[in-house]
Amino acid sequence: MGRYTDSVCRQCRREGEKLFLKGDRCYSVKCAVEKRPFVPGQHGQKRRQKTSEYGLQLREKQKTKRIYGVSEKQFRNTFEKADRQQGVTGDNLLALLERRLDNVVFRMGMASSRKEARQLVNHDHFTINGKKANIPSMLVKAGDVIQVKEASAESPKFEELKAAAAYKTAPEWLEVNADSLTGRVLSLPTRDQIDTAVSEHLIVELYSR
């Protein structure tokens, strides 16, 4: 699977908005979108061409991929799974992306960004219902309990994250106990409980071409 190795701030600038890929830095004056609000590249400041309908659909798909940090193949597979489910395909797509373990760890406040959450999951710091969980793309279910491993909980990193998590608000479908570094999935997320600023109908239109 191809990995993006350039500055993630370029991705925000390409989409013309903050995607909050670098955690607290995105809220500071150091944010690249604030300092250079134009697309990256030699001619970035001169590019003002009108975007076609296809271009809008493509940009929305790219933006959503970048927010959740998934590859093209993963995103396509997730869309196909959402399309097979009952209900609205766009809503299903976002719900599946939200249920990824790396996203849940981020939503719990146990990481400053989804990228950091994915790294922490890969490094085997979490369990689901007491069992090993080190695959970022794992989908949580209603009733699942996600917890930081006891051996990891005492590390300076998680002591720092515990303090930060106490000031963060978890989405309605998650219950978080920052003191014990645990989270419980109360229910599967619905569209009105997902604050990701994307127009999912554009993605559905793109894949329906």
| Location of structure tokens 């406040």 | 109
pLDDT digits (tens, 9 = 90+) for 85-132: 999 999 999 999 999 999 999 999 999 899 999 999 999 999 999 999
**Is there a single domain that holds both residue 68 and residue 57?**
yes
CATH number for position 20: 1.10.1050.10
Same domain flag for 179 and 105: yes
Distance set, CA 176 to CA 24, 140, 145 (Å): 20, 15, 10
Higher pLDDT, 36 or 154: 154
pLDDT of residue 7 exceeding 90, the answer is: no
| pLDDT above 60: residue 144 | yes
Range of the domain at 155: 101-185
Distance CA 143, CA 146 (A): 10
Find the mean pLDDT for residues 40-57: 71
Note whether residue 191 is domain-resident.
no
Please tell me the distance from the alpha carbon of residue 178 to that of residue 28, in angstroms, as a whole number.
24
- Structural domain total, the chain: 3
Q: In what order do the strands lie in the sheet with 182-185?
A: 131-132, 126-128, 145-148, 182-185, 174-177
Q: Do 137 and 202 sit in the same domain of this protein?
A: no
Which of 21-25, 70-74, 93-97, 159-163 is predicted with the least confidence, judged by mean pLDDT?
A: 21-25
Does residue 8 belong to any structural domain of this protein?
yes
Could you give the C-alpha distances from 114 to 86, 101, 136, 151, in angstroms and in order? 28, 10, 10, 22
Are 155 and 124 in the same domain?
Answer: yes
Please determine, for residue 171, whether its predicted confidence score (pLDDT) is greater than 70.
Answer: yes
Would you state the structure tokens that stand for residue 36, as one six-digit string?
Answer: 């250079």
Pair 108, 127 in one domain: yes
Structural domain includes residue 93: yes
Residue 180, token pair as written in the block: 């014990």
Q: Are residues 111 and 148 in the same domain?
A: yes
The pLDDT of residue 140: 98
CATH number at residue 132: 3.10.290.10
Q: Which residue from 37, 33, 75 is spatially nearest to 198, judged by alpha carbons?
A: 75
Within a domain: 121: yes
**According to the per-residue pLDDT averaged within each range, which of 23-27, 37-41, 47-51 is highest?**
47-51
Q: Where are the beta strands (DSSP E) in the chain?
A: 126-128, 131-132, 145-148, 174-177, 182-185
The pLDDT score that the predictor gives to residue 161 is: 86
Residues 6+ positions from 8 with CB-CB distance below 8 Å: 21, 22, 66, 115
Predicted local distance difference test score (pLDDT) of residue 1: 41
